Chain A
């Protein structure tokens, strides 16, 4: 059965901004879908508000709408484009929810759009817990005993019936939002209350606890001829109770007999049929009682999921791609297996290796958040590793996290007390495996570990195997080839061996290499070598035979960015993928190295060769060696993957690896304060007064000298980690304490004069050694002091004049030349008065490269990759990759305004007592993702950016205003405008007085600290909790991490997060919101594809 001919155009909905629970795996799946649909000749219309995605590159769709994924906006796209079909199963829960809304409000029917992939009925049967339960029972299987509840009363009744502990699961939310484990009534009221609110259908499931059971997932695929295959089985090392996204997981399942596995397989097939997912993939989760094998079906996702991305990378079976193909009518046997070419996709991949996925958390960004792992996902990223056995894969995965405390270490003596460790491992937490290993070192028995964790004894034994190997390494009289080989087979890094032996990593590496002990590279081939693999998708192993093919074409290695984390995510992957595309086209053999299974870069289709490997010096050096054995290597690119590869640059260069682009010495020039200061001085560019302190004492001297407020931060960080603005000596002491304290610092601490009230400007440029291409100039909406990654910004800059931009150009060029950049450069400026201060320069791809590329219709990262390999900007202009004339600093007046808005994960975290964490923005980055709004004017673009970030601006209603004294003057005009637009203004006493004196009527509201009034007047926090307000403006008093005056504000803001009410925390943000609200009220906001904007950007 060939593809359907009755449809011509397909609308694909993406998943929007990166949030916890929904990350770049949906860019991977969506990109695959778009590619398939275009290859098949369909007209592809795409909606996705996330500019940092590959799928929103204009060449992946015929019409790309970077517009909010809301029913209103998607309807506008449908009205304009009139697609025949909608594919919504590849854009996560966001796309699925949008599709259901469009079905329910009749839009799909009105425009005759057919939902392909999964029908609304199937989606609802799969996601509605009651109907799903019926399906499972019909198949003769069990679900956990549970009760569906719609009110808190229902919930309490259910608790009486089932007994504690209980699991709360809201319906139709993704990543387990609102779910949790309740041990008593207080827990239950809190979790179920939030869950009812989080569920779009006000529905939660209260379920018996199956805590400690073994947990499994199967990835299933079905075509319209009812052929069903299981792509992958995944086993969670962390038993039931931890969200699968936060669990360490293994593929294939390790502790099932065939009989048990086949029972699961039969059920999975039965479920996908009964639910009625006609075409496409789904994911089904199971729990097994380790004592007697009782099997329970937990849930299904009737769509491609995060686990599907993992399963695709784990097996080489591209689930999203095949799901798209079966959605348009192919059957599995008609689709070739890409990897073998000779066999079809209608089979079940079999693995001759082990895959381990480990989550990466960001609790350090939210110190107040409860770090216990529960059924509510909290990780921000993940790393995957492949090895020929579990120990090798596990240790590779742990070092892929790039957190020194994540991997196992035998440094120092074991803990003297075992009890505290056994107690600690009872609670699932980030790094629990490490804690378990520490317990093993301290003498724990396997039974003790099992009793405390319920981790399957086989997995526990594997930890003992690793530990015993470490002991053998330690006890050996010297590092013999046999000992090194043994350790390497169990995944030990040179660094770990060095620690155990009291040597340096370089010495261990030297010995190992001198002995000729190097990894070989095996191939992920879907079939355990039964057929020849045509796709060089490799992983390392200390085994016997390597499969790297010799080649003649010069290779370029691109080092990716590793697991997603706050400050380093999809934006860097975007640049890496672009480099690969551009260099492939330029005739190089591109070799990608990365360990993040969510990404497009780790799709085996993206580059000529893929190494799924940790991004450590050791692992990269071995790949470089292997590729040098295979053929000529033109160079290694380190400047596109963020801080991860950049941090390796010097060591790689020292080991003789050819780094292309900006050399490591130049990177050092930009990153090292003193050296950079000399570059600025030579170019006569002003910078805020600053100093570098190596001790607390020095820090105080410097701060006094340059005057408060000052910005304090450690050197060599990304995402403003540990960065603070301090206003006094006392605050400075506290900040230094938080940076690690001590008399002497491990890394220098940078202290800068903080420019209050400055306009912050971000610039991305490209320099070839001779010419600067100013990629884009972004004006931040928030004042300087909010991390650039969290701040919203506009491009072209909305208030800067030509003279400012020319000044920026000159400064950027001077820095690029002074530093010695070859490729991309990001510079942050602050414009205070008329002085343009240089805040910092980063000689690498920045987070904003994809945004700038989209807003200016120029592929900056592609051009950068070419420049790194020797092309000049004028050559790239002649080729047409860059515009023939002009650049991002000379955009015509017809250019639309693009606004980038950050998306925050605050709703994901709770403190230990269950309160929300604070939402104030500061110099440390906290956002997980971004959206773009693009339109003719700033107001409209801003309104779109807010809608895209799930914080739509209200059109009318009640606004609460409470601002810090220093913001009161700036607040008057915008609030007056809101009042004029008909909003009712509420304010706390001080703010209300100021407003009244300026002719704005404001209702005075009691502060939370004042408590309810004598006649029961609610406090502001109560009003927020009751959902009475439509917009909240609350600027914090001072931007420090401590201090009680901010408590009121904190309560307001956290209540706003809990109720999902837009909350503005800066006056600049307020001004922008007012413009957005005005634009919304001025008339219907239209939608326009990126392809349509291009002539306006190019000025033709």
Chain B
């Protein structure tokens, strides 16, 4: 029979359920994601490092796990919360069940709890520390251990998720450009989207020095998504300042947007419960068009929506905003009407998620072509 499991939040609320995946104990920041498809991509997204992820969609695991949809080498979530895990996998690409996959990677999860109640709680009280255990089933005892964990604010996690070695994703077809992608927790779809556009992508560790970057002689610089508090991320910010100084075209995604903001002198702050889902409407302020985006961020850039800001590198303005809550979703740096660099807070590589924003990779190409 199924084994009991307990989820406890740092404010003391607890949920008793059934073990899912591996047994044991795990801690992290409790967050929720609202995507109805793409659990495999979600689990393997490094941005979820140190987070206990709640799926608001009740049925998880229906299509099993396949060999193509992982976004990195492993599952990154610290813990997994679902309501109704599948008993069978049904998809022609499936090679194993999600339950087995979670077990084999030691991911502790809990199922059968009121995930909607949990989501509402996190929405009202904000994302917070939590623990799941299949061993310690006394809420008070588990709470004590939860409170010993480090909070997400102030966490510098890039080093924990970044690649150890540089690797190259070759361009598909003719190579038109070379880009250095700083891996702050990059998803595999991102270099693929660039490669499809003739970009040879050199993925460098988060600790790569200016010299190492320049040694590649890149046409453009890219910084990826990733976990952690952007305020603590000193090295990538310093590196980006240097590269901007040298006029390198830049494109950033998610964490890369926050790093960009900080490099330009803007602040960042923690959102109450973040944006995590694949249905997030974003307005491109230049075109007035709405794109439905995939998002996964707990922090955001603090920039004025009502006008541009002058920086040592040029003029920065908010290019994209969330239509749900006006959070900054994109930045554009221009000088004399010419775009020098840009970034978005969401995920144009969209895995999982809609492909509405794939045009941003084209813009990056245009930027490197000097046409932007």
One of A225, A346, A352 near B281 (C-beta < 8 A):
A346
Q: Is the CB of B83 within 8 A of A388?
A: yes
As a 0/1 sequence over residues 259 to 295 of chain B, the CB contacts with chain A under 8 angstroms (1 = contact) are 0000000000000000001111101000011101000
Q: Is A256 an interface residue (CB 8 A)?
A: yes
Q: Is the CB of B116 within 8 A of A262?
A: no
Q: Is the CB of A255 within 8 A of B41?
A: no
One of B69, B88, B92, B323 near A347 (C-beta < 8 A):
B323
Please report the C-alpha to C-alpha distance between residue A350 and residue B324 in the assembled complex, in whole angstroms: 14
Q: Is A348 an interface residue (CB 8 A)?
A: yes
Please report the C-alpha to C-alpha distance between residue A222 and residue B259 in the assembled complex, in whole angstroms: 35
State which residues 243-266 of A face B: CB under 8 Å. Answer: 252-259, 261-262, 265-266
The closest CB in chain B to the CB of A456 belongs to B90
Closest CB in chain A relative to B26 CB, distance in Å:
22
Which of A259, A388, A545 has the largest count of B CB atoms less than 10 A from its CB? Answer: A259
Please report the C-alpha to C-alpha distance between residue A516 and residue B339 in the assembled complex, in whole angstroms: 64
Q: Is A332 an interface residue (CB 8 A)?
A: yes
Please report the C-alpha to C-alpha distance between residue A349 and residue B114 in the assembled complex, in whole angstroms: 20
Q: Is A357 an interface residue (CB 8 A)?
A: no
Q: Is B36 an interface residue (CB 8 A)?
A: yes
Please report the C-alpha to C-alpha distance between residue A456 and residue B278 in the assembled complex, in whole angstroms: 25
Which of A333, A457, A458, A544 has the largest count of B CB atoms less than 10 A from its CB? Answer: A458
Closest CB in chain A relative to B30 CB, distance in Å:
14
Q: Is B162 an interface residue (CB 8 A)?
A: no
Q: Is the CB of A529 within 8 A of B38?
A: no
Q: Is the CB of B37 within 8 A of A258?
A: yes
- Which one, A174-182, A290-298, A660-668, A849-857, is touching chain B? A290-298
How many A-B pairs have beta carbons closer than 8 Å: the answer is 166
Closest CB in chain A relative to B324 CB, distance in Å:
5
Please report the C-alpha to C-alpha distance between residue A986 and residue B57 in the assembled complex, in whole angstroms: 67
Q: Is the CB of A333 within 8 A of B290?
A: yes
As a 0/1 sequence over residues 75 to 113 of chain B, the CB contacts with chain A under 8 angstroms (1 = contact) are 000000001101110111100000000000000000001
Q: Is B354 an interface residue (CB 8 A)?
A: yes
Q: Is B350 an interface residue (CB 8 A)?
A: yes
One of A254, A255, A352, A390 near B115 (C-beta < 8 A):
A352
Q: Is A543 an interface residue (CB 8 A)?
A: yes
The closest CB in chain A to the CB of B350 belongs to A262
Q: Which residues of A contact B91 (CB under 8 A)?
A: 255, 257
Please report the C-alpha to C-alpha distance between residue A344 and residue B325 in the assembled complex, in whole angstroms: 10
Q: Is A227 an interface residue (CB 8 A)?
A: yes
Please report the C-alpha to C-alpha distance between residue A257 and residue B66 in the assembled complex, in whole angstroms: 10
As a 0/1 sequence over residues 345 to 359 of chain B, the CB contacts with chain A under 8 angstroms (1 = contact) are 000001111110000
Q: Is the CB of B34 within 8 A of A528?
A: yes
Closest CB in chain A relative to B236 CB, distance in Å:
29
One of A347, A352, A458 near B116 (C-beta < 8 A):
A352
Q: Which residues of B contact A348 (CB under 8 A)?
A: 278-279, 292, 354
As a 0/1 sequence over residues 542 to 561 of chain A, the CB contacts with chain B under 8 angstroms (1 = contact) are 01110000000000000000
State which residues 314-372 of B face A: CB under 8 Å. Answer: 323-325, 350-355
State which residues 227-241 of A face B: CB under 8 Å. Answer: 227, 229-230, 233
State which residues 359-408 of A face B: CB under 8 Å. Answer: 388-390
As a 0/1 sequence over residues 285 to 327 of chain A, the CB contacts with chain B under 8 angstroms (1 = contact) are 0000011110000000000000000000000000000000000
Q: Is the CB of B93 within 8 A of A458?
A: no
Q: Which residues of B contact A258 (CB under 8 A)?
A: 35, 37-38, 40-41, 69, 278, 351-353
Q: Is the CB of B62 within 8 A of A254?
A: yes
Q: Is B256 an interface residue (CB 8 A)?
A: no
Q: Is B44 an interface residue (CB 8 A)?
A: no
Q: Is the CB of A354 within 8 A of B58?
A: yes
Which of B36, B40, B87 has the largest count of A CB atoms less than 10 A from its CB? Answer: B36
User: Do A262 and B355 form a contact, CB below 8 Å, given A343-B323, A461-B87, A529-B119?
Assistant: yes
Q: Is the CB of A257 within 8 A of B281?
A: no
Q: Is the CB of B37 within 8 A of A256?
A: yes
Please report the C-alpha to C-alpha distance between residue A262 and residue B278 in the assembled complex, in whole angstroms: 11
Which of A233, A258, A346, A354 has the largest count of B CB atoms less than 10 A from its CB? Answer: A258
Q: Is B175 an interface residue (CB 8 A)?
A: no
One of B34, B63, B113, B117 near A350 (C-beta < 8 A):
B34
User: Do A530 and B92 form a contact, CB below 8 Å, given A350-B56, A389-B83?
Assistant: no
Number of B residues near A (Cβ < 8 Å) is: 54
Please report the C-alpha to C-alpha distance between residue A343 and residue B279 in the assembled complex, in whole angstroms: 12
Q: Is B145 an interface residue (CB 8 A)?
A: no
Closest CB in chain A relative to B221 CB, distance in Å:
28
Closest CB in chain B relative to A612 CB, distance in Å:
16
Q: Is the CB of A333 within 8 A of B283?
A: yes
Closest CB in chain B relative to A752 CB, distance in Å:
53
Q: Which residues of A contact B277 (CB under 8 A)?
A: 350, 528, 530
Please report the C-alpha to C-alpha distance between residue A292 and residue B57 in the assembled complex, in whole angstroms: 26
Q: Is B123 an interface residue (CB 8 A)?
A: yes
Please report the C-alpha to C-alpha distance between residue A1063 and residue B190 in the assembled complex, in whole angstroms: 67
User: Do A465 and B83 form a contact, CB below 8 Å, given A256-B37, A291-B92, A347-B280?
Assistant: no
Q: Is A531 an interface residue (CB 8 A)?
A: yes
The closest CB in chain B to the CB of A389 belongs to B84
The closest CB in chain B to the CB of A388 belongs to B58
Closest CB in chain A relative to B61 CB, distance in Å:
10
Q: Is A274 an interface residue (CB 8 A)?
A: no
Q: Is A899 an interface residue (CB 8 A)?
A: no
Q: Is A351 an interface residue (CB 8 A)?
A: yes
Please report the C-alpha to C-alpha distance between residue A446 and residue B87 in the assembled complex, in whole angstroms: 13
User: Do A543 and B116 form a contact, CB below 8 Å, given A262-B350, A262-B355?
Assistant: yes
Q: Which residues of B contact A253 (CB under 8 A)?
A: 37
Q: Is B125 an interface residue (CB 8 A)?
A: no
Q: Is A527 an interface residue (CB 8 A)?
A: yes
Q: Which residues of A contact B38 (CB under 8 A)?
A: 257-258
Q: Which residues of B contact A454 (CB under 8 A)?
A: none
State which residues 833-859 of A face B: CB under 8 Å. Answer: none
Q: Is B235 an interface residue (CB 8 A)?
A: no
Closest CB in chain B relative to A191 CB, distance in Å:
32
Q: Is B74 an interface residue (CB 8 A)?
A: no
Please report the C-alpha to C-alpha distance between residue A1003 and residue B56 in the assembled complex, in whole angstroms: 74
Q: Is A522 an interface residue (CB 8 A)?
A: yes
Q: Which residues of A contact B353 (CB under 8 A)?
A: 258, 262
User: Do A347 and B289 form a contact, CB below 8 Å, given A333-B281, A389-B83, A544-B117?
Assistant: no
Q: Is the CB of B87 within 8 A of A465?
A: yes
The closest CB in chain B to the CB of A390 belongs to B59
Q: Which residues of A contact B36 (CB under 8 A)?
A: 233, 252, 350-351
Q: Is the CB of A256 within 8 A of B63?
A: yes
Q: Is the CB of A354 within 8 A of B59?
A: yes
Q: Is the CB of A254 within 8 A of B113?
A: no
Q: Which residues of A contact B84 (CB under 8 A)?
A: 388-390
Closest CB in chain B relative to A251 CB, distance in Å:
10
Please report the C-alpha to C-alpha distance between residue A390 and residue B90 in the assembled complex, in whole angstroms: 15
State which residues 521-576 of A face B: CB under 8 Å. Answer: 522, 527-532, 543-545
Q: Is the CB of B69 within 8 A of A257?
A: yes
Beyond A255-B62, A350-B35, A531-B123, 12 additional contacts (C-beta under 8 Å) are A254-B59, A257-B40, A257-B69, A291-B92, A350-B34, A352-B116, A389-B84, A390-B59, A458-B90, A527-B34, A528-B57, A529-B56
Q: What is B's interface to A at a CB cutoff of 8 Å?
A: 15, 32, 34-38, 40-41, 56-59, 62-63, 66, 68-69, 83-84, 86-88, 90-93, 113-117, 119-120, 123, 277-281, 283, 288-290, 292, 323-325, 350-355
Q: List 26 A-B contacts (CB under 8 A).
A: A226-B289, A227-B290, A257-B91, A257-B93, A258-B35, A258-B37, A258-B278, A258-B353, A262-B354, A265-B355, A342-B325, A346-B323, A348-B278, A349-B279, A352-B56, A352-B116, A388-B83, A388-B84, A465-B87, A529-B116, A529-B119, A529-B120, A544-B15, A544-B114, A544-B117, A545-B116
List the 7 shortest-distance A-B pairs measured between CB atoms, nearest first: A258-B38, A258-B352, A545-B117, A544-B114, A528-B56, A258-B37, A348-B279
Q: What is A's interface to B at a CB cutoff of 8 Å?
A: 225-227, 229-230, 233, 252-259, 261-262, 265-266, 290-293, 331-333, 342-344, 346-354, 388-390, 446, 456-458, 461, 465, 522, 527-532, 543-545
